[in-house]
Copies of this chain bind each other. A is one copy, B any other.
């Protein structure tokens, strides 16, 4: 077992059997991250398999801030979320959360089943006192180069006003912490920015956020789909149904256009030659748009740090995500979220009152 080289390192429990191609990208990404310093990784999963892979890939691994925590079982993509908390307690994913609970790690990270991650967050960490439901967060690339924090992207599909206003607060704290925004600009995703647009739900939340201005963020009103990529809004809040759809449409459109571009390039020799000349520029574009470079999606609203990576996460994505998780640990994201929830109690009380009045 490797020993941590310093106790000041951010300690991350990484589910080594989460991603589609596990455990290779997890091991490779962890090795890269710990070699850069400042991070200690606990690889969670089958001890024999992990030790054999580490011995083969990095014979010096025992001198790195890296260790293995044995977990004999695996949560699959087909497992129901409850499997992760009840059916397979010894699986690598729930064991990551146990390590955090025992104080042996500061955050849990997995490229596995996101429903199971949500269940682990809810049942192992429990919710932050005052938070009704946690949210799943992602970051969208924008033309200005800044990333926009977008939540909820799928944890809660049937939302009430209290959920959306809490997502606004949680998202603002994350944006401030992760992207060093002093006072993030927050907006509600809607079907238009004009007066009278939105649903009953968004109109109620819009009014609540206007009537209870926060010192932690600036509320802008409604945002549209284009704002997810525009860079002018720091945090965009949606219910988990339309948020998840928006995220998947964005990813699918990107993939479809990439495919169409490939078809266009393959259509003639001249186009192929042209593409060859454009390759360095196109590769730059590809890396700017690569979801791998945007790191992991935090689960916000639970009493501990949990981050979810894309199932197809590459070693590079794992490395980037570990660095991002380490930043959240160092910046004390978890206590900041709890403090913000207490601080915004008047807004949340008003949201609950609005709900029972309607």
Q: Is the beta-carbon distance between A158 and B199 smaller than 8 angstroms?
A: yes
A2 CB within 8 Å of chain B? no
A103–B261 alpha-carbon span in the complex (Å): 47
| Residue from B196, B249, B282 in contact with A228 in the complex, judged by beta carbons closer than 8 Å | B249
CA distance A196 to B254 in the complex (A): 27
Please choose the segment from A28-36, A43-51, A94-102, A237-245 that sits at the chain B interface, where 4 or more of its residues have CB less than 8 A away: A237-245
Copies of this chain present in the complex amount to 2
Min distance, Cβ A136 to any Cβ of chain B, angstroms: 11
Please pick, from B157, B225, B271, B289, the residue contacting A199 in the complex, using a CB distance under 8 A: B157
Interface check A250, CB cutoff 8 A: yes
Roughly how many angstroms separate A255 CA and B224 CA in the complex, as a whole number?
Answer: 14
Which residues from 218 to 237 on chain A have a C-beta closer than 8 Å to any C-beta of chain B? 224-226, 228-230
For residue A220, give the distance in angstroms from its CB to the closest CB of chain B: 17
Docked-complex contact A225 and B254, CB < 8 angstroms: no
- The answer, yes or no, to whether A332 is at the interface (CB within 8 Å) is no
Most buried by B among A242, A254, A255: A242
A264 at the interface (CB under 8 A from B): yes
Q: Is the CB of B244 within 8 A of A246?
A: no
Known A-B contacts A249-B228, A270-B277; the reply to A198 vs B157 at CB < 8 A is yes
Asked if A7 is at the interface of the complex by the 8 Å CB criterion, the answer is no
- Report the minimum CB–CB distance from A102 to chain B (whole Å): 31
271-306 of chain A: CB within 8 A of chain B: 271, 273-282, 284-285, 288-289
Contact residue among B191, B245, B264 (Cβ-Cβ distance under 8 Å from A282): B264
With contact pairs A225-B251, A245-B225, A246-B249 given, residues A288 and B260 touching in the complex (Cβ less than 8 Å): yes
How far, in whole Å, are A245 and B248 apart by their CA atoms in the complex?
12
A residues near B (Cβ < 8 Å) are: 80, 142-143, 154, 157-158, 189-192, 196-200, 224-226, 228-230, 238, 240-242, 244-257, 259-261, 263-265, 267-268, 270-271, 273-282, 284-285, 288-289
